[in-house]
């Protein structure tokens, strides 16, 4: 018998002072049985850091990357289905990143493991001008996982590159490190 996804609900109250984005989003997150809480929370962080200020190029959506190999963790598509922003979470293979760079105007990767993954492929991806790679420190990913609940109300504040995430009782600081891209 196949295991089913765990359904989590999150309300993200986003105050991004760096980009002047102030929004509230209600999300339903299907957590794959093999997806860790750290990965799910990094997906939410990636959403908060990339949600557009308007939907001219379409909304940012959670995709089915763990179920569908041709989909990322998140993406932003316009009404015609053209992909504007492809967002991966974890440590995708070089081939997957290269293919995404060819399919989308902008590609972002949010890794939360070790730097050894990136060190092994970075020299072969320098031609991908539309690629940005971010490292979430493992301790920060673990701290975010502690905020996981089936129903979450999270306040996300971004200021000067630092991200503050709180649930009303606890608050943590996450500082993504840019490894590549603009």
Task: Please give the DSSP secondary-structure letter assigned to residue 79.
Answer: T
Which of 68, 85, 87, 76 has the alpha carbon at shortest distance from 30? 68
73 close to 97: Cβ distance less than 8 angstroms: no
Q: What is the pLDDT of residue 1?
A: 56
Judge residue 102's burial from the number of C-beta atoms within 10 Å of its C-beta, 0-12 exposed, 13-18 middle, 19 or more buried: exposed
- State the first-to-last Cα distance of the chain, in angstroms, to the nearest integer: 45
β-sheet with 6-16: strand ranges across: 21-31, 6-16, 151-159, 162-166, 171-174
For 10, other C-beta atoms within 10 Å of its C-beta total: 23
pLDDT in tens, the chain (182 residues): 567 889 999 999 999 999 999 999 999 999 999 999 999 999 999 999 999 999 899 999 999 888 888 899 999 999 899 999 999 999 999 999 999 999 999 999 999 987 789 999 999 998 999 999 999 999 999 999 999 999 999 999 999 999 999 999 999 999 999 999 97
Q: How far is CA 123 from CA 9, 128, 144, in A?
A: 39, 11, 30
Q: How far is CA 180 from CA 40, 54, 118, 139, in A?
A: 23, 26, 9, 21
Domains of the chain listed by start with CATH number: 7-180 (3.10.640.10)
The reported pTM is 0.95
């Amino acid at each position: 018998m196949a295991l089913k996804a765990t359904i989590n609900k999150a309300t993200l109250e986003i105050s991004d002072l760096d980009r002047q984005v102030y929004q509230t989003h209600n999300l339903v997150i299907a957590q794959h049985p093999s997806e860790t809480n750290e990965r799910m929370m990094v997906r939410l962080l990636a959403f908060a850091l990339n949600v557009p200020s308007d939907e001219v190029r379409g909304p940012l959506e959670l995709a089915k990357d763990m179920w569908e190999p041709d989909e990322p963790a998140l993406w932003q598509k316009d009404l015609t289905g053209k992909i504007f922003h492809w967002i991966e979470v974890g440590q995708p293979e070089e081939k997957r990143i290269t293919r995404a760079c060819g399919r989308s105007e902008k590609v972002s990767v949010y890794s939360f493991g070790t730097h050894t993954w990136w060190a092994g492929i970075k020299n072969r991806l320098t031609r991908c001008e539309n690629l940005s790679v971010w490292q979430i420190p493992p301790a920060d990913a673990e701290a975010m996982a502690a905020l996981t609940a089936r129903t979450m109300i999270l306040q996300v504040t971004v200021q000067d590159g630092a991200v503050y995430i709180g649930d009303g009782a606890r608050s943590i600081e996450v500082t993504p490190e840019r490894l590549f891209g603009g």
